[in-house]
Amino acid sequence: MNNMFFIVILFLQILFLISILYSLKTALKADDNVILGVTLPKDKLNDEQVEKIELLYNKNINTLAIVFGLLFVPELLLKIDFAGYPSLEIVYFFAWISSLLISSRRIVYLANKKMRALKSEKRWIISELQKNDTSNKKFTYDDEYWPNGINYSNPKDNSLLVSKRIGVGNTVNLGIKKGKVLTFGTLAAVITITICLSTYLLLTDFYTPSIYIDGDKIKVSDLDYSTAFSTSEIQDVKLIDEVPIVSKINGALTSIYARGKFDVNSYGAGKIFIFKKSSPYIMIKLRDSYIIYNEDNKTKTNNLYEELKARVR
């Protein structure tokens, strides 16, 4: 992962954090008497206990901002200490996003629950005039259809999308079949893609290529860039101390390893399977191309070199 990509990821996280904080703040705007997803009588909006709940909610938002702001530090350390393993940064990114979403929703749920309890305890009744104003479903005064202030679930309403009570835009009606399929289908797809992508990246970063020699057949095994050739194709085998990569044609390149097809200065295009900080490297010259390979330590590389050298005709 190059520095520019890392900066883009970091920028997206900051943007996401700001958008979440803004969305949480909208719950405090008394739009048509809806505060924290609960409809209150107009004369109770400034009630002392209501303001206490709002104050605690605000405090929790500020804590969330501080905690997830500080969680950028481990990510920066990952970039410094594990720059050769981009999978760790990507997995951390997914974990950070997931944790932020869960934590932000929990803050809303708790505040909404407190506000509902207060409204029930005080037996605050919404006037019939207010109840009859249903020009916008965001302000539907049946709080029962907004069980946590965020989700809308009304089987009597055929609308798929309605305006959010908290945040900007629309939310899906979970009370109808289409809403459930859309919401849970999307959630399942996102979770599946995230897990599969994270697993693949981790396997790619921590997989160690290997060479198998079976008679006159030689195979370089790798997750994505495996190749095979026969000993009769080998024209030369030698050890080199440097691999001056010019550009990546198709493959994976980090500060730790290079795997795939690369253009190497003075050699041209060929396949590389190397640990960049573990020289020497074995140069296997074939008829039409070449392969550069090494193990993760010098002794293993030298032993493999001697074995390959003995098979050159």
- For 2-15, what is each residue's pLDDT tens digit? 677 778 888 899 99
Same structural domain, 33 and 151: yes
Last residue of a domain, one of 188, 204, 220: 204
Q: Give the mean pLDDT of 203-207.
A: 90
Same structural domain, 235 and 268: yes
Same structural domain, 56 and 171: yes
- Number of helices (H), then strands (E), belonging to the chain: the values are 7, 13
Same structural domain, 200 and 258: no
Report how far apart the first and last C-alpha atoms of the chain are (Å, whole number).
41
Residue 181 falls in which region: left (phi positive, over 0), alpha (psi -120 to 50) or beta: alpha
Same structural domain, 137 and 15: yes
Is residue 280's pLDDT more than 80? yes
Local confidence band at 133 (pLDDT 50, 70, 90 cut-offs): low
Q: How many domains does the chain have?
A: 2
Same structural domain, 246 and 179: no
Q: Give the mean pLDDT of 52-56.
A: 96
Same structural domain, 147 and 272: no
Is residue 97's pLDDT more than 90? yes
Same structural domain, 136 and 253: no
Q: Which helix (H) or strand (E) holds 230?
A: strand 227-230
pLDDT at 139 (0 to 100): 46
Local confidence band at 83 (pLDDT 50, 70, 90 cut-offs): low
Is residue 80's pLDDT more than 70? no
Q: Give the mean pLDDT of 137-151.
A: 76
For residue 144, give Cα distances in angstroms to 21, 86, 121, 175.
26, 46, 16, 12
Last residue of a domain, one of 163, 183, 204: 204
Mean pLDDT (the chain) is: 89
What range does the domain containing 76 cover? Answer: 3-204
Give one DSSP letter per residue of 111-167, joined into a string: HHHHHHHHHHHHT----HHHHT--SSGGG-S-GGGSTTSS-B--TT---SEEE-SSS
- Its pTM stands at 0.80
pLDDT at 129 (0 to 100): 43
Last residue of a domain, one of 175, 204, 233: 204
Same structural domain, 159 and 57: yes
Sign of CA dihedral 123, 129, 134, 139: negative
Same structural domain, 237 and 294: yes
